[in-house]
């Protein structure tokens, strides 16, 4: 009988790809994935350690799986961001884990998996490698019509609040050949939407040919089977006219881009170590707004050390003026070992108040955008069907982080359908189909 394993994945899409790599390596050796942790012979937790709330969530799930481990005797594997974040302390902090597994050692782990069943324990803690990860052995955990491609790993930016260089190492780009081969393989498996991710996608440059991101997008645009190419995690200081021209000229590069700005105050951006400052943010927005129907998604942070009421109001006013299509919001988290953690911190009640206010503002802005769509027709991608309702996304909506469209009736999952928007909400839209699905 094949062995079964259970995996719980926390955090971002980069962590998801790491988990897919691990699942793929195990599947190649005959292991089967189960969604029931009580029938699994091995439990795996892929953790996120980016900020304190993520580590708190990981700790809660770890305790749950540790309890199941004690009840079933299934070994528990801790992977994801925690092994590099905690380093040599990881095995002692998470004493119930039978294996501490950095994501870059998945191939080696697959050969050890059965030994865990015999009661052996492993601590594979090691520093990040010099090479980018090999993502050729993934078992997709997303619906088959949507897949992520990691074009690089690690980060060489110097943001004062961020632990990513510590967790992921320096920026290590894949070659264009690797990325295009992945995209072709995913298209052959039925992927219609390809989502490009990295810590900073706009920093990508092919280590062999020196090709930059716009040229890569042009080559992705030529791959048969792919309908949407979505770009995430772009840095505002690296938004160029060439990139904008490429988005305009390539049919499959959808008019959507995720550009985390973090803030707009020059003083705050300087303390954050964000290259380009306010000028780069404004220039990026102006360039991107020249693309018809563009949806610019962004992320902002409130409560950074030293943020004054005036600087917070400057951010609120900028969001109202620009009217970003989608906005993710974080409260600043003081991370041990970062430069920002050594600055004087704002009172927690101030941060909570600002977070609540900016959420109200952005929610109202998104609702206003959705109301402008009422009565209009648009193509949506069908993600799944539940209780007779199709859950879909427009090109404005990346999986998990953005909104959804609810359509009454059972549309074909993984297909595109034209719908008419009927009712607006802040996080979703109600629609009805207007023609046969394509």
Average confidence score pLDDT of the chain: 96
Q: What angle do CA 251, 327, 282 make, to 5 degrees?
A: 75
Q: What is the CATH number of the domain that holds 420?
A: 2.40.50.140
Residue 130 resides in a domain:
no
The predicted model gives 268-297 an average pLDDT of 97
The token pair that represents 412 in the structure block: 């074909």
Domain annotation covers residue 409: yes
Read off the pLDDT of each residue in 374-383 and give the average, rounded to a whole number: 98
Whole-angstrom CA distances from 295 to 242, 256, 325, 383, 393 are 18, 5, 5, 20, 13
The model's pTM is 0.95
Please compute the mean of the pLDDT values over residues 31-39 and round it to a whole number: 97
- Give the model's pLDDT for residue 109: 87
Which residue do the tokens 């995690």 mark? 233
Instruction: Provide the token pair at 394.
Output: 């427009």
In whole angstroms, what is the distance from residue 140 CA to residue 336 CA?
34
Residue 332 placed within a domain = yes
User: 214 with 332, same domain?
Assistant: yes
- Domain total in the chain: 3
Question: Domain for residue 135, yes or no?
Answer: no
* Site of tokens 């990860």: 133
pLDDT > 60? residue 438: no
Q: What is the pLDDT of residues 107-165, one digit of tens each?
A: 888 888 989 999 999 999 998 888 888 898 999 999 999 999 999 999 999 999 999 99
Are 308 and 202 in a shared domain?
A: yes
Whether residue 60 has pLDDT greater than 70: yes
Q: Supply the pLDDT for residue 436.
A: 58
Predicted local distance difference test score (pLDDT) of residue 354: 98
Same domain, 311 and 244: yes
Q: Quick check: is 346 in a domain?
A: yes
Token pair for residue 132? 């980018």
Q: What percentage of the chain exceeds 90 in pLDDT?
A: 93
393 within 8 A of 381, measured Cβ to Cβ? yes
Looking only at the bridges linking them, the beta strands covering 428-433 and 416-424 are antiparallel
Instruction: Identify whether residues 289 and 380 lie together within a single domain.
Output: no
Of the pLDDT bands very low, low, confident and very high (cuts 50, 70, 90), residue 375 is very high
| pLDDT of 63 above 80 | yes
Number of C-beta neighbours around residue 157 at 10 A: 16
Q: Which SS3 state, helix, strand or coil, does residue 424 take?
A: strand
Answer yes or no: is 132 within a domain. no
- With cut-offs at 50, 70 and 90, classify the pLDDT of residue 416: very high
Domain boundary among 355, 372, 389: 372
- Nearest CA to 295 among 170, 393, 190? 393
Range of weakest confidence among 27-41, 128-142, 235-249: 128-142
Supply the range of the domain harboring residue 247: 146-372
Residue-wise pLDDT for 309-343, tens only, equals 999 999 999 999 999 999 999 999 999 999 999 99
CATH of the domain at 300: 3.80.30.20
* 93 and 217 within one domain: no
The pLDDT tens digits of the residues spanning 183-203 come to: 999 999 999 999 999 999 999
Binned at pLDDT 50, 70 and 90, residue 53 comes out as: very high
């Amino acid at each position: 009988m094949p062995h079964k394993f259970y995996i719980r994945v926390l955090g971002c899409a980069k962590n998801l790809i790491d988990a897919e790599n691990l699942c793929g390596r195990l599947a190649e050796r005959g292991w089967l994935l189960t969604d029931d942790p009580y029938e699994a012979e091995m439990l795996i937790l892929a953790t996120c350690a980016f900020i304190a709330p993520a580590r708190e969530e990981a700790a809660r799930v770890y305790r749950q799986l540790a309890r199941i481990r004690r009840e079933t005797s299934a070994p528990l594997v801790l992977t994801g961001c925690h092994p590099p974040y905690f380093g040599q302390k990881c095995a002692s902090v998470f004493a119930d884990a039978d294996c501490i597994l950095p994501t870059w050692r998945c191939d080696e782990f697959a050969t050890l998996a059965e030994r865990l069943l015999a009661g052996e324990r492993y601590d594979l803690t090691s520093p990040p490698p010099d090479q980018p990860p090999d993502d050729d052995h993934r078992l997709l955990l997303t619906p088959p019509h949507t897949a992520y491609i990691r074009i690089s790993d690690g980060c060489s930016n110097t943001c004062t609040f961020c632990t990513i260089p510590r967790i992921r190492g320096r920026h290590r780009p894949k070659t264009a050949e690797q990325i295009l081969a992945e995209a072709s393989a995913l298209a052959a498996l039925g992927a219609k939407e390809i989502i490009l991710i990295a810590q900073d996608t706009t920093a990508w440059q092919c280590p062999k040919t020196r090709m930059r991101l716009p040229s890569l997008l042009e080559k992705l645009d030529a791959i048969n089977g792919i309908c949407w190419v979505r770009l995430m995690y772009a840095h505002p200081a690296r938004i160029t006219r060439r990139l904008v021209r490429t988005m305009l000229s390539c049919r499959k590069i959808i008019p959507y881009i995720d550009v985390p700005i973090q803030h707009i105050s020059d003083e705050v951006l300087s303390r954050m170590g964000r290259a380009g400052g306010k000028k780069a943010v404004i220039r990026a927005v102006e360039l991107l707004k020249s693309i018809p129907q563009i949806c610019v998604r962004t992320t902002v942070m409130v409560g950074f050390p030293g943020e004054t009421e005036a600087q917070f109001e400057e951010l609120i006013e900028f969001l109202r003026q620009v009217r970003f299509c989608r906005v993710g919001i974080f409260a600043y988290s003081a991370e041990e070992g970062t430069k920002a953690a050594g600055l004087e911190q704002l009172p927690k009640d101030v941060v909570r108040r600002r977070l609540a206010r900016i959420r109200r503002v952005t929610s109202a802005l998104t609702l206003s955008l959705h109301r402008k769509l009422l009565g209009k027709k648009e193509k949506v991608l069908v993600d799944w069907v539940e209780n007779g309702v199709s859950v879909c996304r427009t090109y404005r909506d990346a999986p998990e982080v953005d909104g959804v469209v609810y359509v009454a009736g059972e549309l074909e999952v993984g297909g595109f359908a034209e719908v008419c928007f009927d009712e607006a909400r802040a996080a979703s839209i109600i629609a009805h189909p207007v023609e046969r699905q394509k």
